[in-house]
Structure 1
Amino acid sequence: MRPPVRSKKMAAGDLIPRPIATGQVHSKMVRIGPMTSPVARPEFSLTRRDLMAAFGAAALCPAWPATALAQGRTAVALKARTDGISLRPGSGPETPVWSLGNGELRFKRGEVLDVTFGNELPVAATLDCRGLDGVPAAEPLTSRAPLATGATDSFQLPLRHAGTFLCAPLVSDDASAPTRPRPLIVTGTSPVAIDRDEVLLIEEWRLRSDVTAIPPGNDPKDSTPIHTINGKTSYDISAPGNARLRLRFINGSQRSVLAVKLENLEVRVMAIDGQPAEPFPARNGALILAPGSRTDVFVDAVGPAGTTFAILLHDGKQAHPVGKLVVSNEPPLRAAAFPPAPPLPGNDMPAQIDLKNATRFDLALGAPAEWFRTADFKPSVAPAFQAKAGRAVVLALTNRGAMASVFHLHGHHFRLLDRLDDGWKPYWLDTLAVEPGQTQRIAFLAEYPGRYLIEQVAADWAAPRLLRWYNVQ
């Protein structure tokens, strides 16, 4: 076997790398269909299968109440509670949801959060923070038991990495209302040349005629799909000419792979799933987002005042506008736009993964008999696999189900491998969609001892969340 190398850098206009035929080390790119500018209606040519294939190949607000403590410690109080969102403004009451409150949570890399988590929901709940590596003491279900109504829990949450992450109440599938995630933004210690930093949380709802919403894991019959960005059915951004924006796109849907496109705008991908990537331009300004995944991009507000760039969303069936970026009437910030941005400051991720001496495991997806629903999961069951700390781990993920399965690894980020295990894509992931009958291989360095969850869910609204766990000793 040849020594591991990284795949070649992405060519201009490429979006998502796909592992290709035996004998080739570089990566081809998946085109996201012909995308043309909207005239009377948006044209955004994708199918549900396109979304799965594209991602499977790659895969504003108040913060938490906080009090600064000495030595980078921050006391944080957070409650899971009943809340509401206006999905049909001006036409009825708010839709009941379960949330951690509204708005983004923003801290700095290196801080340690002393979290007090309280549960005010009518069902047991734990706190799930997606994308935070190496925090076994805060891991839901394996370390933190579900809290009964009215109970509280306390633990520490060290913020090892800068990036875009996500927190949400973790409840069982018998929930009576959908849960809302809350973005967690961890800023780095090195400056980044941008003029604005915006979070765009995309959420999907299945709304009944009585304005209540069907939680994921339940049959969505007799409901209407609705999408929001930051809680609004139409979200607009205004910026001066030649301003550079960092847009942090988050797929807050718990079941659907989505595509989002910024019409007629150059979109430079800078980070995926909270970790910096080798920058590359998204083809036609389109991004593929699996449930819970995040992609940070840089865009420049170019053109005269009043220039408008539509934000389109595609759910695999049709495209529709969900917002726009508008060049404001303010004077341009500079005479010309910035040149293409260099990579973001690194997070001290492993430079190499020893694939030759890796511990290897096969993991079947779409196989409910080997997995547990949230309410049935017990940390006393045997782990899916065990690895020694400091060793490389390669997982072969085979989807035996009838539809695409979305895989999420807690505790560690991973590389998506080429077909020959002789290289990997130039970014890190914590979430990957795998098509039916397909096998994808991923690799990570088992850096952090502890017990961590593994999740899978079929890309179908009625599908349950399924769990296992793994151990790093």
Structure 2
Amino acid sequence: MLISRRQMLGGALVFAGWRSPAFAQALTADGFIELRAQRVELGLLEGGVGKTEAWLLGNGPGPAIIRARQGEALKLRLINDLDREIWLHFFGVRGPSDVMTINVPPGADHAVDCVFTPPDAGTFWIAPMSDQSRLRDMGLSAVLVVEEAKPVPGLTDLVLVLDDWKLDDAGVVEGNFGDVETMVGEGRLGNWFTINNQYRPHLALAKEGFTRLRILNAANVRTMNLLFKGPDPMVIARDGQPVKPEPLGRKALVLAPGQRADLLVASAEGDIGLALDLFEDAAEIGYLVAPKGSAAPPVIPDDFALPANPVTPLGALDEARTINLVLEGGIKGGLTAAKLNGVERDLRTLLENGKGWAINGVAGPSAEPIFTAKRGETLQLEIDNRTAFPQPLHIHGHVWQVIAEAPSGVFQDTVVIPSGEQVTLAFTAENPGLWALHGLVAERADGGLIGTFRVEE
């Protein structure tokens, strides 16, 4: 175990005096962090061989990591060196609506500046909102790490981006983007696993104190069931929001596409092997290596938790307005027709236009939002998943709680709704603007599983 029950209950030491992680990143003359979308050649095969053309936000070979501080202005300059426009979204960030989704035209002379102050500390990501199947599968994303306003001492960050690539034997990304059968089926499932764009990397843990693993699942469709072989990690945050610390135990860490989790591990407990539970098999994907002579970790106080983010609590649920959302589409998903661009279309016409999924009978965003809310209003979303697949559903600009008999008390920005089941979610509409709700499987979002809602002042 990373942290024993005896340590948790009998801990007399505190975090005072531990090392605080520092970060530095190159800035332009006017104080911006430059994030550039560009073609990069990666060696993703065993031993770093192969010539995989990837489209990255950054120079590579690893994923871009942008660091900010809660409550302080983040200044990003986005440059698109690709041959197509891109729309990027700050997933999980509750920032202002006019900069959370940004169009970046191709060409250095069309650079877009983005300035905002992150309200929450946590692990977030920047990824495409259009042509998601192609752009995400080519690697176009970045991790946004927002440090706590008052640094939590004794924690050293290690970002782990999990991905599966669909490669041929030479390491080239296989085509067939836009394939209708893939779009209405499971999605674009990869066959080659990486961590930080490396095959089975050996990554060093901090020699002293605890390593804070910030883990992102960047895959198009695959839910990552991550196994830890060795010491038991402590889960301290999910989807960028703090949770009550809890040992993972022998269970897998389950992350749907786009989900994140923060965990604590200590090098004094030894090396850790990372593997994916593939149900019929397990695939080793990397190793966390403890430096020689690692010091014993300080004892965590039994009341330790990350500072809560300033999320508005839910209002009275018996007074909340209920919004019904029906998810349809895909193979055996019940969709026979849906509105596309304001016109009712049969399934054949939808498929000819690259659509096969719908929310409330509408395929893709429409001129009218699904619902409109007043700022400060608490809403309950009754979501009925009539499709044949579990659906990871994401909300922009807000966080919600699952409601069973009572609110879960855990804020998230993504919830997985099992096939054929209904889930009730509640959130406070606290962030004005036009926002999206959508599936986090890239092919389904491209295929119409996306809608909008508006929060009015």
* TM-score in same-fold range (> 0.5): yes
Q: Give the direction of change, closer, same or farther, for the CA distance of 1:224–1:260 in structure 2 (3 Å limit).
A: closer
Structure 2 contact 122–145 (Cα < 8 Å) conserved: yes
Unaligned runs of 5+ in 1: 1-11, 13-59
Q: Which moved more, 1:60-69 or 1:195-204?
A: 60-69
Which residue identity is paired with 2:417?
Answer: V
Which residue identity is paired with 1:197?
Answer: D
Q: Deviations over 1:393-450 (max 9, x none)?
A: 11111111111222111110111111x3xx2223211112212111111111100110
Greater relative contact order: 1 or 2 (C-alpha under 8 angstroms, separation 6 or more)?
1
Which residue identity is paired with 1:349?
Answer: V
Please show how residues 9-48 of structure 1 align to structure 2 within 5 Å. none
Partner of 2:117: 158
Partner of 2:411: 428
* Aligned: 1:130 with 2:124: no
Partner of 1:415: 401
Partner of 1:37: none
Partner of 1:402: 388
Structure 2 contact 95–397 (Cα < 8 Å) conserved: yes
Q: Distance in 1 between matches of 2:114 and 2:294?
A: 48
Please show how residues 324-363 of structure 1 align to structure 2 within 5 Å. 324-333=287-296, 337-339=299-301, 342-363=304-325
Q: Give the direction of change, closer, same or farther, for the CA distance of 1:236–1:93 in structure 2 (3 Å limit).
A: closer
Q: Give the direction of change, closer, same or farther, for the CA distance of 1:191–1:146 in structure 2 (3 Å limit).
A: closer
Q: Deviations over 1:309-343 (max 9, x none)?
A: 21112245531111223332225255x64455611
Q: Which has the higher helix share?
A: 2
Q: Distance in 2 between matches of 1:221 and 1:354?
A: 39
Structure 2 contact 242–307 (Cα < 8 Å) conserved: yes
Please show how residues 211-250 of structure 1 align to structure 2 within 5 Å. 211-214=171-174, 218=179, 219=182, 225-239=191-205, 243-250=209-216
Q: Distance in 2 between matches of 1:223 and 1:455?
A: 19
Partner of 2:272: 309
Which residue identity is paired with 1:127?
Answer: L
* Aligned: 1:263 with 2:224: no
* Aligned: 1:468 with 2:451: yes
Q: Distance in 1 between matches of 2:427 and 2:394?
A: 13
Q: Distance in 2 between matches of 1:390 and 1:268?
A: 34
Q: Deviations over 1:352-373 (max 9, x none)?
A: 4321221211112234736889
SS in 1 for 2:325: strand
* Aligned: 1:452 with 2:435: yes
Partner of 2:147: 187
Displacement of 1:266: 2.1
Displacement of 1:77: 2.6
Q: TM-score, normalised by structure 1?
A: 0.75
Partner of 1:251: 217
Partner of 2:76: 115
Displacement of 1:259: 0.9
Q: Deviations over 1:236-278 (max 9, x none)?
A: 2334677322111111112111111212322211111001112
SS in 1 for 2:283: strand
Q: Deviations over 1:70-101 (max 9, x none)?
A: xxxx5233222222322114575421121211
Number of corresponding residues: 401
Q: Distance in 1 between matches of 2:444 and 2:453?
A: 26
Partner of 2:347: none
Q: Distance in 1 between matches of 2:446 and 2:288?
A: 35
Q: Distance in 2 between matches of 1:61 and 1:119?
A: 29
Structure 1 contact 248–297 (Cα < 8 Å) conserved: yes
Q: Which moved more, 1:206-215 or 1:244-253?
A: 206-215
Q: Which moved more, 1:268-277 or 1:321-330?
A: 321-330
Q: Distance in 2 between matches of 1:165 and 1:438?
A: 28
Structure 1 contact 264–284 (Cα < 8 Å) conserved: no
Which residue identity is paired with 1:274?
Answer: G
Please show how residues 59-208 of structure 1 align to structure 2 within 5 Å. 65-67=26-28, 74-89=31-46, 93-101=50-58, 102=60, 103-140=64-101, 144-145=102-103, 147-148=105-106, 151-172=110-131, 175=134, 178-208=138-168
Q: Which moved more, 1:259-268 or 1:158-167?
A: 259-268
Q: Distance in 1 between matches of 2:222 and 2:370?
A: 25
Q: Which moved more, 1:176-185 or 1:391-400?
A: 176-185
Q: Distance in 1 between matches of 2:354 and 2:34?
A: 26
SS in 2 for 1:137: helix
State the percentage of identical aligned residues: 25
Q: Deviations over 1:96-142 (max 9, x none)?
A: 121211431111111223333222212221222111113201133xx
SS in 2 for 1:87: coil
Q: Give the direction of change, closer, same or farther, for the CA distance of 1:224–1:445 in structure 2 (3 Å limit).
A: closer
Please show how residues 282-297 of structure 1 align to structure 2 within 5 Å. 282-284=248-250, 286-297=252-263
Unaligned runs of 5+ in 2: 6-20, 330-334, 342-349, 356-362
Displacement of 1:149: 5.4
Partner of 1:319: 282
Q: Give the direction of change, closer, same or farther, for the CA distance of 1:284–1:383 in structure 2 (3 Å limit).
A: same
Which residue identity is paired with 1:321?
Answer: E
Q: Distance in 1 between matches of 2:139 and 2:71?
A: 29
Partner of 1:384: 370
Which residue identity is paired with 1:100?
Answer: L
